[in-house]
Amino acid sequence: MTREAPTAWDRWYAILDNPSPLVKQAPTVIVLALAVLLTATVPDLQFQPFLTALAGIVVVLIATALAVVFTVQKTDVGWLVLVIPMADMLGLGLFRAGTGGAASLFAGLILLPIVWIAAAPGFRWVLIVAGLTAIALVIPFLSAPPTSGSEWLRIIITPVVFSIVAAIVNELSRVARVRTTDAEALATQRAEALEDNLRVVAQLQTSEQRYRDLLEMFRSVWNATTAQAVVGTDRDGLIVIWNPGATALLGAEDIDTEYAVRIERFFPASALDALAEGAPPTASDDVLSTGLRNMFTTADLGAPAVRELEMLRVNGTTVPVRLTVTTRRDGAGAPIGYLFVAIDETRAIEVARMKDEFVGMISHELRTPLSSILGYIELLRDDPQHPLTDEQLQFLAVAERNARRLLKLVGDLLFTAQVESGQFPLDVRQVELGPIVAAAVESAAPVAEAAGIELIAELPDDPVTMRLDPVRIGQALDNLVSNAVKFTPRGGTVTVGIGLPKDEAVVTVRDTGMGIAPDELDRLFTRFFRASSATRNAVPGVGLGLNITKAIVSAHGGTMDVSSEEGVGTEFRMVLPRG
Amino acid sequence: MSADLLALVVDDSDDQAELLRRYLERAGCRVVIASTAEQALLLLDGIRPDIAVIDLVLPGISGEDLAGRVRETHPECLLVISSVLDASRYPEADAVLPKPFTGAQLALIVEQAADRG
């Protein structure tokens, strides 16, 4: 809002709205000048006595000079400015006395300063006016005291009338001032309100811009999300929003028929059945399928519901996806629907399949020649018709040992790959744990003996019967025991024991070996991780044994635990649930 | 008595087939070798082996299919699966011989066949 340029009238009013002492004095001076002019020119009028009239003119001129000073100085002198009209009154009183006294034409002039004084705030000015009027009007009678009763009345009545005028002016001024003050207060309020409004408008514009920016950002993110299908639904699965990624994945053009298509349309019956499996039944009048309602319920609990399943394209084909369902909420946090985010898993599944095939092929291609090497070594060694010399047998033993080492490595790699893809078979049966542990100790005995390490088995007398895969657990124990032997220097001890806290069987493998650095303990079970003590001491291995051991134990619902002190020894604990 | 036993070996690896033949002969068997399932099926029309050692990974008809047919046409034959694959993937059989096998393992199987006969 712009203010208009002030016009000539505005400038004029500005002078009158807040008049300077000189402006207020001007009428008195002008009228007095006219009176002097009239008296000098009209024969009937005359200055009598001349000196008194002159004194009056001089007093008014002094007052005017004072008005000029006050006006020029522009200082607020408060009530002192009223000295000017007071002097005027006296001056005009003298002028009246010098132009005929009571008979003078110019008694009315005195009203001008009276109005000025009377307009000042406060009733006391009315009284001052009364006093001054009386003084001014009584001047002529100082030289010639009143002689008649009418002249006495004039001395009394004229000041009274003038005082009443002054009182009226005083009151009108007061009222005017009050109204002006009110009006000014109102104007100030309005101005403030206007300013507030302007500020609010500016704030609104700023936040509108911010929301526009956010909206643009959201829109660009939404449109850029082409690798993930994002579909928003209401609480009953009616589609309300559909992103370009959803079009790319599921083939439907932009679904703008809001609330017309149900999300179920994009799932094959088999996927819906799979979702419903094991889910609690839903209300019979529920428009949504049981499986999806179940996913919605999971999402409502706060955690995103994640499933790997197939979705149905518009053209009738299916696509494997990883689907995440989260609850959509309004600003107040109340659920208003659901967000489906689907990622195409076709490529990932293909890669996993190729990896499995590759691992299977490699494993087959490596094992076949190794089988021949081992088989023919045995054939050579055990030929009853051509017995070998001790040296030849020794050479063959080396060849066989190395071939077996390669074979184990191939087996471990294959097993790790199977663990990765979550598909290694467990043949769980009711067996005794003791003999499995004993067998692991026994198979490590020759190596331990050759390395000068004492290998002790502390097994309970009573049989420990439990459900497990004896081959896999044996493999896991072999890893632990052979590790312990590998990492223990000559003269050390490896102790294998079974503990039986309630509901659990704990197999401990404790050594007096070189130990493991504390910062490496948590990475110990990671595939291909090798402890620095292993690499430093050139202990052979590729870092698969503990990874496999942990996978086997985990598959049995158990846990692996380790504590170690460098230079003192290490203890591995295999905790298996019983019953 | 094992001298009377006839063994059929089906393996596409010549080295493995030869190894099996050697061990089987040492155990006193007569041995017929086929390198494919198709060839084995032709041979089976004319012979009644006591033992059939079948490799799983074969070109053409798989070892698994062949094992199934042998089971049907020669129910009296001791069916042995021998493969480098994980034992959990073997089809139903009378005995398993995971590669690499030892002479002792094969000797046990021959004994088993002899007990049957």
pLDDT tens sequence across A69-101: 888 888 777 888 888 999 998 898 888 888 877
Residues on chain B touching A425 (C-beta within 8 angstroms): 86, 88
pLDDT of residue A1: 45
Examine the domain organization and report whether A439 and A561 are in the same domain.
yes
Residues on chain A touching B102 (C-beta within 8 angstroms): 378
Which residue in B19, B23, B99 is closest to A367 by CB distance?
Answer: B99
Q: What total of structural domains would you count in chain A?
A: 4
Tell me the percentage of chain A whose pLDDT exceeds 70.
Answer: 97
Examine the domain organization and report whether A276 and A355 are in the same domain.
no
User: Domain for residue A210, yes or no?
Assistant: no
User: Domain for residue A125, yes or no?
Assistant: yes
User: Domain for residue A233, yes or no?
Assistant: yes
pLDDT of residue A341: 93
pLDDT tens sequence across A432-447: 999 999 999 999 999 9
Q: Would the CB atoms of A379 and B57 count as touching at under 8 Å?
A: no
Q: Would the CB atoms of A407 and B100 count as touching at under 8 Å?
A: yes
pLDDT tens sequence across A254-308: 555 566 788 888 899 888 888 888 777 777 778 888 888 888 888 888 888 888 8
Residues in a beta bridge with A509: A496, A572
pLDDT for A322 beyond 70? yes
- Cα–Cα dist A319/A130, whole Å: 109
Q: Would the CB atoms of B100 and A371 count as touching at under 8 Å?
A: yes
One-letter amino acid identity for A253? E
Examine the domain organization and report whether A129 and A155 are in the same domain.
yes
Examine the domain organization and report whether A325 and A364 are in the same domain.
no
pLDDT of residue B117: 64
Which DSSP state fits A232?
A: E
pLDDT tens sequence across A95-148: 888 887 777 778 888 888 998 898 888 888 888 888 888 888 888 777 777 777
What is the span of the domain harbouring residue A261? 225-344
pLDDT of residue A5: 61
Examine the domain organization and report whether A229 and A278 are in the same domain.
yes
Examine the domain organization and report whether A391 and A256 are in the same domain.
no
Contact A479, A549 (CB under 8 A): yes
Examine the domain organization and report whether A37 and A169 are in the same domain.
yes
Which residue in B22, B84, B101 is closest to A364 by CB distance?
Answer: B84
pLDDT for A2 beyond 70? no
Examine the domain organization and report whether A277 and A333 are in the same domain.
yes
**C-beta contacts of A248-254 below 8 A and 24+ residues apart:** A249/A311, A249/A313, A249/A319, A249/A321, A249/A342, A249/A344, A250/A311, A250/A312, A250/A313, A250/A314, A250/A319, A251/A313, A251/A314, A251/A315, A252/A314
Q: Would the CB atoms of B100 and A375 count as touching at under 8 Å?
A: yes
pLDDT of residue A494: 95
DSSP per-residue letters across A92-159: HHHHHHTBTGGG-GGGGGGHHHHHHHHTSSSTHHHHHHHHHHHHHHHTHHHHS---SHHHHHHHHHHH
Examine the domain organization and report whether A162 and A301 are in the same domain.
no
Exposure on the CB side of residue A371, measured as CA atoms within 13 A = 27
Chain B residue with Cα closest to A364: B84
Per-10-residue mean pLDDT of chain B, 117 residues long, equals 78 93 91 94 92 92 93 92 83 88 90 83
ipTM of the complex: 0.90
Examine the domain organization and report whether A507 and A552 are in the same domain.
yes
Q: Is B22 on the interface with A (CB under 8 A)?
A: yes
pLDDT tens sequence across A147-173: 777 777 877 888 888 889 889 999 999
User: Domain for residue A214, yes or no?
Assistant: no
User: Domain for residue A564, yes or no?
Assistant: yes
pLDDT for A226 beyond 90? no
pLDDT of residue A508: 95
What is the span of the domain harbouring residue B96? 2-116
One-letter amino acid identity for A259? Y
Report the CATH number that the domain containing residue B38 is assigned in CATH. 3.40.50.2300
pLDDT tens sequence across A475-511: 999 999 999 999 899 999 999 999 988 889 999 999 9
Examine the domain organization and report whether A41 and A76 are in the same domain.
yes
Which residue in A363, A378, A414 is closest to B102 by CB distance?
Answer: A378
User: Domain for residue A165, yes or no?
Assistant: yes
pLDDT of residue A400: 92
Q: Which residues contact B94 (CB under 8 A, 6 or more apart)?
A: B78, B79, B80, B112
* Residue written as token pair 């088993």: B112
CB interface of B with A, residues 87-116, below 8 Å: 88, 99-103
Q: Which two tokens stand for residue A372?
A: 């021949």
Q: Which residues contact A505 (CB under 8 A, 6 or more apart)?
A: A433, A464, A466, A498, A499, A575, A576, A578
Band of residue A392 on the pLDDT scale cut at 50, 70, 90: very high
Report the CATH number that the domain containing residue A488 is assigned in CATH. 3.30.565.10
Chain A residue with Cα closest to B88: A425
User: Domain for residue A216, yes or no?
Assistant: no
Q: Would the CB atoms of A367 and B16 count as touching at under 8 Å?
A: no
R_g (Cα) of chain B, nearest Å: 13
DSSP per-residue letters across B31-70: EEEESSHHHHHHHHTT---SEEEEES--SSS-HHHHHHHH
Examine the domain organization and report whether A566 and A490 are in the same domain.
yes
| Domain end position, chosen among A395, A420, A445 | A420
Q: What's chain A's average pLDDT?
A: 87
Chain B residue with Cα closest to A427: B88
Q: Is B48 on the interface with A (CB under 8 A)?
A: no
Is 0.95 surpassed by the pTM of this model? no
User: Domain for residue A197, yes or no?
Assistant: no
Q: What total of structural domains would you count in chain B?
A: 1
Report the CATH number that the domain containing residue A253 is assigned in CATH. 3.30.450.20
